Amino acid sequence: MKAAAFDYVKPASIDKVIALLQEHGDDARLLAGGQTLMATLNMRLSEPQLVVDITGIESLRGINVQGHVLRIGALATHTDIEFSPLVARHAPLLKAAAPHIAHRAIRNSGTWGGSIAYADPAAEWPACLLALGGAVVAHGPKGERRIAADDFFTGLYSTALQPDELLVACEIPVAGADHWFGFSELARRHGDYAIVGLAATARRDGAVLHDLRIVLLGVDATPVRARQTEMLLEGRALDPASVSEAVAKLRSEIDPLPDLTNTPDTKRHLAGVLLQRMLPVDAAV
């Protein structure tokens, strides 16, 4: 199908974007890489009066390290992240997750900020941001504020962003020498949305993990942490017994939503399989 008619504007500053959002409210939609918005426009699931193209704002680009955080600009593409040496060094979870996102042509266009702000519960970046304990930098009429990932994803496709705020970047604590991470997902076809996925980080001391953050995607209305499983594994030596307990705990604590082809029980089972594969028990023995 073809998109309905809309007006188009490409402002050069964040302040102008915010003014447009205040003026047009829900009639305006922000356009970055367009890999979600364009599909919904073409299918007429979305018919905004005004499309505000933010790709002319240079300050939204780039990936850099500022002190102890890795800052990923809203307009960094999935491909930028996949091949960034800074990401590989300071947030290797993202490099591991990137190839799972759609396909090359889409990764060349789609953006980090778009994925986080859209907050698809089956998408990779929201789960990774949560697993990394990062924060969203939002710019509104009163300036910038930071929202912890733990507080950002509030419901299905819903976030703590206000209607007149723009996601300008995310900040991720840089990985320490003891950083451990894992990413795994199951999809019918490479690049499809995951049936279920897991993103996890921790501090590793030999066979023991500390400060675990285990996040599931494709399971609930938002990316969700498996907090009981995190607690069970905290400070415990990883061996076949503790891994088996963790898998059982994960399956008991989640309450997956079904999708078109997978029942809650299927997803519950698969989540356990992914956790079992991910925990570094072989290397620990």
Partner 1 sequence: MADLYPIKVTVNGKPHQCSVQPRTHLVDFLREDLGLKGSHLGCEHGVCGACTIELNGQIVRGCLTLAVQADGGRVQTIEGVSASGVIRDLQNAFVARNALQCGFCTSGMLMAAKELVEQMPHANRAEVREWISGNYCRCTGYHAIVDAICDVLQQRKEGA
Q: Which residues pair with 202 in a beta bridge?
A: 180
Question: Which of 4-12, 88-96, 229-237, 273-281 is the region at the interface with partner 1 (rule: CB under 8 A)?
Answer: 4-12
Selected binder of partner 1 within 106, 186, 207, 273 (CB under 8 A): 106
How far is residue 267's CA from residue 251's CA, in Å, rounded to a whole number?
Answer: 9
Selected binder of partner 1 within 68, 89, 104, 146 (CB under 8 A): 104
How far is residue 71's CA from residue 173's CA, in Å, rounded to a whole number?
Answer: 9
Evaluate whether 229 touches 214 at the Cβ level (below 8 Å): yes
Q: Cβ 184 to partner 1, closest distance in Å?
A: 16
**What's the distance, CA 273 to chain centroid?**
21
Binders of partner 1 in range 131-190 (CB under 8 A): 189-190
Size of the site for partner 1 (CB under 8 A): 32
Question: Which of 98-106, 147-155, 223-231, 266-274 is the region at the interface with partner 1 (rule: CB under 8 A)?
Answer: 98-106
Q: Which two tokens stand for residue 203?
A: 């501090």
Question: Of 245 and 259, which has the nearer Cβ to partner 1?
Answer: 259
Contact code string over 31-50 relative to partner 1, x by CB under 8 A: x--xx--xx-xxx-------
Evaluate whether 274 touches 185 at the Cβ level (below 8 Å): yes
Question: Which of 99-107, 127-135, 249-257, 266-274 is the region at the interface with partner 1 (rule: CB under 8 A)?
Answer: 99-107
Question: Which of 96-104, 140-148, 149-157, 249-257 is the region at the interface with partner 1 (rule: CB under 8 A)?
Answer: 96-104
- Based on the shown chain and the rule CB under 8 A, indicate whether residue 105 belongs to the binding site for partner 1: yes
Binders of partner 1 in range 217-246 (CB under 8 A): none
Report, in angstroms and rounded to the nearest whole number, the Rg of the chain calculated over CA atoms: 19
Q: Cβ 33 to partner 1, closest distance in Å?
A: 8
Evaluate whether 115 touches 126 at the Cβ level (below 8 Å): yes
Concatenate the DSSP letters of all residues of 11-71 into one string.
-SSHHHHHHHHHHHGGGEEEESS-TTHHHHHHTTS---SEEEE-TT-GGG--EEEETTEEE
Question: Which of 1-9, 13-21, 64-72, 275-283 is the region at the interface with partner 1 (rule: CB under 8 A)?
Answer: 1-9
Question: Of 52 and 279, which has the nearer Cβ to partner 1?
Answer: 52
Q: Cβ 37 to partner 1, closest distance in Å?
A: 9
- Which residues are within 8 A (CB) of 234 and not within 5 positions of it... i.e. 6 or more apart? 209, 210, 211, 212
Question: Of 42 and 64, which has the nearer Cβ to partner 1?
Answer: 42
How far is residue 54's CA from residue 142's CA, in Å, rounded to a whole number?
Answer: 19
Selected binder of partner 1 within 30, 102, 135, 219 (CB under 8 A): 102
Question: Of 55 and 228, which has the nearer Cβ to partner 1?
Answer: 55
Please state, in angstroms and as integers, the Cα–Cα distance from residue 283 to each residue in 177, 211, 240, following that order. 17, 19, 12
User: Strands (DSSP E) along the chain, which ranges?
Assistant: 7-9, 28-31, 50-53, 63-66, 69-73, 135-140, 143-148, 153-155, 158-159, 166-173, 179-186, 196-205, 208-217, 224-225
Contact code string over 73-92 relative to partner 1, x by CB under 8 A: ------x-------------
Residues forming the site for partner 1 (CB under 8 A): 1-8, 10, 31, 34-35, 38-39, 41-43, 51, 53, 55, 79, 99, 102-106, 108-109, 189-191
